Amino acid sequence: MKLLSTNTCFVPTDLASVTRSQDEVSPELGGMTEPQLQKIWKSVEGAYKTGNYPFISFCLRRQGKVLLNRSLGYASGNSTQGLSPAAKIGAPDTPVCLFSASKMVTAMLIHMLDEQGEINLLDPISYYIPEYAAYGKRRTTIFHLLSHRGGIPKIDGEVTPELLFDKNEILNRLYAAKPISVSGSRLAYHAVTAGYILGELIERVTGQDLRTFLHETIEKPMNMPYFNYGLKPEYREQVALNYPTGLHPRLGTDHYLNHVLGGGLQLAVDVTNDTRFMDTICPAGNIYTSAEQASRFSEMLLSGGQYNGQRIMSSRTVFRATLPTSVTSLDRTLLAPMRYALGPMLGSNPVGLFGPQTGQAFGHIGFSNILCWADPQRDISVAFLTTGKSVIGTHLPALGNVLYQISKQCPRIPKQSRRSLFGSDQAENEWVQTI
């Protein structure tokens, strides 16, 4: 990458030549108008025109209907070095790595085990993984890890691609880790660490491989052919590759990413494009899926744990998983004010991660500029997936406009006219009172 450059990719003059759509319904079926949807889509095109995103995949559901399901750009072959002759245009069903947006899926698997009575969220991790009790972690609970208060925000030692391909080595490091703070006392985003421990807990309790457990509980019943950790070999020719973009990554960006992840921008890109990462399981960061399937998952949660009339989890489980664990607080890893539930990140008023006036929204972001969320007030479930790993860049105003347009063009629905979320009006009222 060039040091004194915006580090952007090729953007074709004719966006229609790299735009694809699939299975959209009339906007009226979702209580919207064509001009409203066009304003949202124009904002997505505006983000693409910045050149920070080789590929964007976007899906918007409202009132359960797929109103926008489109992609823009190249799944591979378009980088800051230019457009390759072998560049491949992506499609709405192109698999994309969710990065940290995978965390919410892993968290919901934990909540499902709690629903089944297999675990208790207030139990210490060491009840299920005795090795984890070492070096002062005996009292660390499942609740602490879900809420990013477990005291182990980073993996000790150098983080290399080879390490991220070796789950057992990572687990051994985490068992031997000394917490940097007393469990429960300090909010500090656990970028990858908590995911590995929660994934191991699921495997020990269920006796199943984590990938198999996700397949049986969510991927298969929701008819999603690839919504899992890693990516099956038959889909790898279609996968969207990630590329580093943005301003001065080696100066400010890598320093920040080392603080958060233990590795720089190039590491994150190289790892997710490697087939060895697609072979392994990284519970906090390597679900590969499409924007439509990511939106489908959020829609299931928004519908109180149901999808197409099939019960995936109880409405009570969704309600409990999305309750705020605290007021907005400074996250000592992300160095930003954050608001968390037990797994999901939460929106805020007057403005938050998912746009303005999104105090009831819940979902998760992924590195970088990947956003998956649901907003009960607007009855929307959204997935905005990108492959340009730009932290600081010319894309930021355009990304803000995408979130603004979604919030503005998808008006909040009067409570008396909304779908009954979380299973009952009483449960929803309790949830709203926590905002």
Domain of 36, CATH number, reads 3.40.710.10
Average pLDDT of span 369-374: 97
Question: How many domains is the chain built from?
Answer: 1
pLDDT value at residue 246: 87
d(C-alpha 121, C-alpha 153), whole Å: 19
pLDDT value at residue 430: 59
Token reading at 178: 């000394």
Domain span including residue 411:
1-318+367-435
Indicate the pLDDT class of residue 97, thresholds 50, 70 and 90: very high
Please say if the pLDDT value at position 267 is more than 90: no
Is residue 373 in a domain? yes
Contacts of 195 (CB under 8 A, 6+ apart): 102, 103, 106, 282, 283, 284, 285
Average pLDDT of span 1-26: 88
d(C-alpha 111, C-alpha 47), whole Å: 35
Is residue 336 in a domain? no
Token reading at 368: 């970088």
Q: Is 58 left (phi over 0), alpha (psi -120 to 50) or beta?
A: beta
pLDDT value at residue 105: 98
pLDDT value at residue 242: 96
DSSP state of 228: E
Contacts of 33 (CB under 8 A, 6+ apart): 27
**pTM of the predicted model as reported, rounded to 2 decimal places:** 0.93
Please say if the pLDDT value at position 204 is more than 90: yes
Task: Tell me the pLDDT tens digit for each residue of 47-93.
Answer: 999 999 999 999 999 999 999 999 999 999 999 999 999 999 999 99
pLDDT value at residue 2: 53
Average pLDDT of span 118-123: 98
CA distances from 282 to 79, 163, 237, 342 (A): 26, 11, 21, 19
Is residue 332 in a domain? no
Please say if the pLDDT value at position 46 is more than 70: yes
**Element containing residue 381 per DSSP (H, E):** strand 380-386
Is residue 143 in a domain? yes
Is residue 345 in a domain? no
pLDDT value at residue 396: 93
Token reading at 68: 């926008």
Average pLDDT of span 117-138: 97
Is residue 167 in a domain? yes
Is residue 272 in a domain? yes
Average pLDDT of span 322-350: 94
pLDDT value at residue 392: 83
Token reading at 350: 């007057």
The answer to which of 110-114, 311-315, 327-331 has the lowest mean pLDDT is 327-331
Q: Give the burial class of 17: count Cβ atoms within 10 A of its Cβ; 0-12 exposed, 13-18 middle, 19 or more buried.
A: exposed
CA distances from 35 to 15, 61, 247 (A): 19, 16, 34
Provide the CB-side half-sphere exposure for 346 (13 A, CA).
26
Indicate the pLDDT class of residue 129, thresholds 50, 70 and 90: very high
Which position has the higher pLDDT, 159 or 298? 298
pLDDT value at residue 181: 92
Indicate the pLDDT class of residue 428, thresholds 50, 70 and 90: low
- Give the chain's mean pLDDT: 92
